[in-house]
Amino acid sequence: MERYNVVTEKPTEEPYYKVDLDIGNFDLFGGSVDVSGPLNESKSLKYRLNFAAETNETFIDGVSRERYLVNPVLAWSIGKNTDITFEAEYTNLTADNNFGIPAIGTVLDNINGELDQSLNFGDPDVEIREVDSILVGYDFEHRFSDDWRVRNAFQYTHNAFPEFSIFELSLQDDQRTLERGFADTSQFDISTFLLDSSVVGNFNTGSNIKHELVAGIELFRSETLADLGVGEVSSIDLFAPELSNTVIGPVTEFFISETTDETLGIYLQDKIEFFDKVILLAGIRFDIISSELEDEVFDTVDFDQNEEFSPRVGLVYQPIDELSLYGNFTQSFTPNTFGFASTGEAFDPQTGTQFEIGVKGDINDKLSVTLAYFDITLDNVPTTDPEDSNFQIISGEQNSEGVELFVSGNILPGWDVIAGYTYTDATITESTDFEVGNRINNVPENAVSFLTSYEIQKGSLKGLGGTLGLYFVGDREGDLDNTFEIPSYTRTDASIFYNREGFKTALNFRNLFDIDYFENAETDLRVRFGAPFTVVGSLSYEF
């Protein structure tokens, strides 16, 4: 349960301090500190510093996590029209793998009975998965006037993922003996460099047409070093697991590779407002993406370069203040930076096309309804290789189309509600590895969410409140071959909280009625249960 996904916030001009503490079942302990304020009397130099730490076990035997984070930010107003912000972040995550367990014995019948949802077929004593992540960067802006400004931003990240993991190979005919293998990734380092420079200008053409023009250039580079060895591990009886008796076989070097992805992107966009009734957003982006993969084991060098124009058009029309009609069309072109093919070849870039139309209406000044139709097509989509789950293959072209309905707003003072329904028809439309027309795994046709909260506004109990959330997820396919189905579920979450003058305490309940449900699946050997009833108590104070 990774709860501290810190989003960088800007430093404040006034001193600010906040402390959070969490405690829950499965031995959850966590906390964070957020401090900010000026560093000089003129307040031209400001800082913000976040610390966070969390440790917890899980409902899966031997699977636990530890996470530590530090995130300093320094903002400098160099002059009246010039600002620069420096940022750094370090994260360390140690987590055991949760690949899931076979479909036979969970969503499918097993001749030996049902598998325990806490089952772990690995060995926590020999497995290791650690992530060290470093980020440094800056964001510079200079304003020539109220209407024209330039921006330059740079970001460098380095992620190291050393890992030794035990994974499933096959389930024997007795439906209880699982053949296993191991992957020894002694080195898996990814370094990325991003430099983005742009100019933004605001101007008018005529008396009632406003423009916001953005033009820029983006440079991106990713370097990946990977050293993977594989081997076999002694089998395990899923109904009488003995994790301590794991026998590790000899390692076979599978690949030692160096991958370099480079992108040059040039973009131009104009946001045009007509008579305060129509907003038109039109843009174009041109990308040159090159990828080179060198592998010592395969003794191969694979180089590929692609170029693509990606347009973007959006339109909003507001005939009356309470009603907005909108539509947008966008295309994308991005490198497949992550994932490896068992052949040692580099993946072609992923392309996407999205079309959406919708209407948003305000029932009153506090409650709104949005109805939208969407159509999304993705090509060159990586997915888990059904022959070897350590690698990926390109599944071909996938299309998702459907309808979304959302209602949100304030019903009465202190009473808020957010409700939504989504219908999605997600299928494979082109593929050489899977049947065209198969549904995309883990995507339900029907999904419903409802979240409401109420907080007492007056009197001695002011600040006392609670939330209730209902989440329905329909039946989903478990793999792209559509060989099995994950059943639907309805999960209930709730909380009780008290807010008063910077102090907040809460009890948060997830899966309130402790239902058994399946969160997702990758293959017929990788099905993951959702977490059982979980309670987390939290305290926070800001001043």
Cα 211 to Cα 216: distance, rounded to the nearest angstrom: 16
How far is it, in rounded angstroms, from Cα 345 to Cα 293? 7
Residue written as token pair 């423009």 = 211
pLDDT (0 to 100) of residue 5? 39
Distance between CA atoms of residues 387 and 175, nearest Å = 19
* Confidence check: pLDDT of 529 > 80: yes
How many Cβ atoms sit within 10 Å of the Cβ of residue 473? 23
Comparing CA positions, the residue from 444, 448, 446, 445 lying closest to residue 419 is: 448
> Among 312, 318, 325, which residue's Cα sits nearest to residue 275?
318
In the block, residue with structure tokens 């949100």: 408
Q: Which two tokens stand for residue 343?
A: 């052949």
Nearest to 507 by CA among 539, 543, 472, 461: 539
303: exposed, middle or buried (Cβ count in 10 Å: 0-12, 13-18, 19+) = exposed
Instruction: Please state, in angstroms and as integers, the Cα–Cα distance from residue 48 to each residue in 58, 123, 361, following that order.
Output: 32, 41, 39
pTM: 0.88
DSSP structural state of residue 340: -
Q: What pairs with residue 307 in β-bridges?
A: 288
Mean pLDDT for all residues in the chain: 92
Would you list the DSSP string of 5-65? -PPP-PPPSS-EEEEEEEEETTTEEEEEEEEEEESSTT--EEEEEEEEEEEEE-SSTT-EE
For 169-183, write each residue's pLDDT tens digit.
999 999 999 999 999
- Per-residue pLDDT band at 1 (split at 50, 70, 90): very low
How much is the average pLDDT of 357-375? 94
Q: Which of residues 385 and 108 earns the better pLDDT score?
A: 108
**pLDDT band at 344, cuts 50/70/90?**
low
C-beta of residue 393 within 8 angstroms of C-beta of residue 339: no
CA-based diameter of the chain, in Å?
80
Confirm if 351 and 379 have CB atoms less than 8 A apart. Answer: yes
Q: Is the pLDDT confidence value at 301 over 50?
A: yes
Average pLDDT over residues 242-264: 87
Instruction: Report the alpha-carbon distance of residue 518 to residue 529 in Å, rounded.
Output: 4
Which of 92, 42, 87 is CA-nearest to residue 68? 92
Q: What is the pLDDT of residues 4-29, one digit of tens each?
A: 334 468 899 999 999 999 999 999 99
